[in-house]
Structure 1
Amino acid sequence: MTLDQIRIFLCVAELRHVTRAAAQLNMTQSAVSSAIAALERQHGVRLFDRVGRGIALTQEGETFVPTARALLAQAETAALVLADLSVETRGSLRLFASQTVASYWLPPRLMRFHEMHPEVTLSLAVGNTAQAAAAVQEGTADLGFIEGDLPDSPLRRQVVARDELVLVLSRQHPAARQKAFTAQDYRRFTWLLREEGSGTRSVFEAHLAAMGLRAAELSVALDLPSNEAVLAGVGTGGAVAMLSHRAVPAARARGLAIRRVTWAQRPARPFAVLSHPERHRTRAAEALLEGIRAG
């Protein structure tokens, strides 16, 4: 088994198509097919079934995917360690950030880091808090940036900023001029919520609990996967939401009203960076963290 075979297997498994995988890997279709066939032959296992014009992972292939990902991540970490032995801060840094962090807080800090360390290649994936933690745990990200707490995790967590949620509603909403709200108001509203697993959702649910409420008691129109989607929905006038105060400029640009929570304990949260305690932290990662702490 070679790393090239693992890389080819994962690409085919992700795309479910040999031709598209070959194009993405800059290889011929026959070379990709040969690599998969050699891997299957060497280990006496069938990893893919042909289904019509496409292919599908067998049960054995599905089982092998997470191990293959972990193996490739370890190889990439080894390459980073070797690159880190040089005198200069260089190499690559794989980041995964939850959406609010990635949209409003992280970009200027990454630009400042790039200006100081142009030899470091940065890549950023965006998802929610749970996905960021999983990426760091699996080794597909060197650092993860999240909102809120991370229960029951072996990952190293360091707070790097503070945030809070605010109520967002259309200026045409019947409660737009209201300054304070009760639990009964919350039950009467139609809500747009961020998806399960997001830091915004977990902090909002903690805010509800402080008001003696649960999300199940609310009238929820939609769970949405991004702040922008929530803002667009609130802009139609019929629903309300709670989002980071860092999204306030975008909300005001859409003509929305903002209410900072004064009728209950402020729904505050930290922004934190995650790293794996058992993996090598490169010079590039240390430089980024130092820049964030200083800035």
Structure 2
Amino acid sequence: MTLEQLRVFVAVARALHMTRAAAQLHMTQSAVSASVAALEASCGVALFHRVGRRIELTEAGRAFVPEADAVLARAAAAETVLADLSGLRRGRLALQASQTIANYWLGPLLNRFHQLYPDIALSVVIGNTTQVAAAVREGTADLGFVEGEVEEPLLARTAVPGDRLVLVTAAGHPFAARRALTPADLFELPFVLREPGSGTRQVFEDALRASGLDPAGLKVVLELPSNEAVISAVAAGAGATVISDLVAAAGLATGTLRQLPLGFPARRFYALRHADRYHSRAAQALTALMQAPEAARAAPAAPTSRPRPRARR
């Protein structure tokens, strides 16, 4: 049994499809099938049922998935510790970020990090605030970045300046000409909002509750899973939305959107990490860069990697 066989097994168990798992692993389908067969032969038990063209986990396979996950997690943790011993000359960071942060805020930060530490590999997955918190809690992400409030005892938060929510409609909307609005006026508008679990929606609804208003009374005509879809629907006249000023900036600049005169407080973004898991030097460096970007930008770069001697055979 090898770590590679475990990685292949977990990928197939998640996808329940050899070809899809092979694509995710950047392997051929025959290589994936051979790896699964070798693992089954080494442990002397069938892990999958072959039902026509479909595959299903056997009882043994279902029981083995969390054990394989645990072994892979321990191996990744050991690799992280060894990478730290190299002094940020190698390693990797798995990140997950909410849409607003990933698409409009995180890119410049990661570019500066890469300039300082070019040998640290970065991967980013995009989800909503709920999904990001779950990834950090479960250990599939080293750091998460969210704009919503996350209250979980297992997650440590680091706050940084974020953005501000704005109320916008299409430029030709009847409300676009209004010079004043109150929070109660929002209940006259049809709304296009992000899905439940989105940090943007959470902050908007919390602001309504702080004004003594129930968000359940809003006329929500569309719930959409991305900022871009929300802005597109609003610009087409579907209704109003409350969204990050970073997201609305392009539409406001071109005149397709109009900002209505109702202010929202500035909000902070948060970096999440698991309070009980090892916090690698790479994760610490990225957190420090996030908290003091101007100082980190001027910091000297990490030492470059030295050529490694070839192992003797």
Return closer, same or farther for 1:254/1:50 CA change in 2, 3 Å cut-off.
Answer: farther
Q: Does the CA contact (< 8 Å) of 1:12 and 1:18 recur in 2?
A: yes
- TM-score, structure 2 as length reference: 0.83
Residue 271 (structure 1) aligns with: 269
Cα deviation, 1:62-115, whole Å, max 9, x if unaligned, reads 565455434423321211111110134421111111111111111101111111
Partners of 2:70 and 2:255 in 1: CA distance:
43
Residue 111 (structure 2) aligns with: 111
Partners of 2:13 and 2:107 in 1: CA distance:
32
Residue 291 (structure 2) aligns with: 293
Equivalent pairs, count: 289
Partners of 1:258 and 1:35 in 2: CA distance:
61
Partners of 1:258 and 1:90 in 2: CA distance:
46
Q: Does the CA contact (< 8 Å) of 1:190 and 1:218 recur in 2?
A: yes
User: How far off its partner does 1:47 sit?
Assistant: 4.2
User: How far off its partner does 1:59 sit?
Assistant: 6.3
Partners of 1:29 and 1:4 in 2: CA distance:
10
Partners of 1:63 and 1:255 in 2: CA distance:
54
Gaps of 5+ in 1: none
Q: Does the CA contact (< 8 Å) of 1:93 and 1:120 recur in 2?
A: yes
Gaps of 5+ in 2: 294-313
User: How far off its partner does 1:60 sit?
Assistant: 6.1
Q: Name the SS of the counterpart of 1:223 in structure 2.
A: strand
User: How far off its partner does 1:11 sit?
Assistant: 1.0
Residue 52 (structure 1) aligns with: 52
Q: Name the SS of the counterpart of 1:95 in structure 2.
A: strand
Partners of 2:283 and 2:237 in 1: CA distance:
44
Partners of 1:101 and 1:47 in 2: CA distance:
40
Residue 243 (structure 2) aligns with: 243
Q: Does the CA contact (< 8 Å) of 1:89 and 1:120 recur in 2?
A: yes
Partners of 1:5 and 1:270 in 2: CA distance:
43
Partners of 1:48 and 1:179 in 2: CA distance:
65
CA RMSD of aligned residues (A): 2.3
Residue 167 (structure 1) aligns with: 167
The one-letter code sitting in structure 2 at the alignment partner of 1:226 is: S
User: How far off its partner does 1:148 sit?
Assistant: 2.6
The one-letter code sitting in structure 1 at the alignment partner of 2:40 is: A
Cα deviation, 1:102-140, whole Å, max 9, x if unaligned, reads 111111011111111111111111101111111111111
Q: Does the CA contact (< 8 Å) of 2:167 and 2:262 recur in 1?
A: yes
Return closer, same or farther for 1:118/1:268 CA change in 2, 3 Å cut-off.
Answer: same
The one-letter code sitting in structure 1 at the alignment partner of 2:236 is: T
Q: How does 1:79-228 map to 2 (within 5 A)?
A: 79-228=79-228
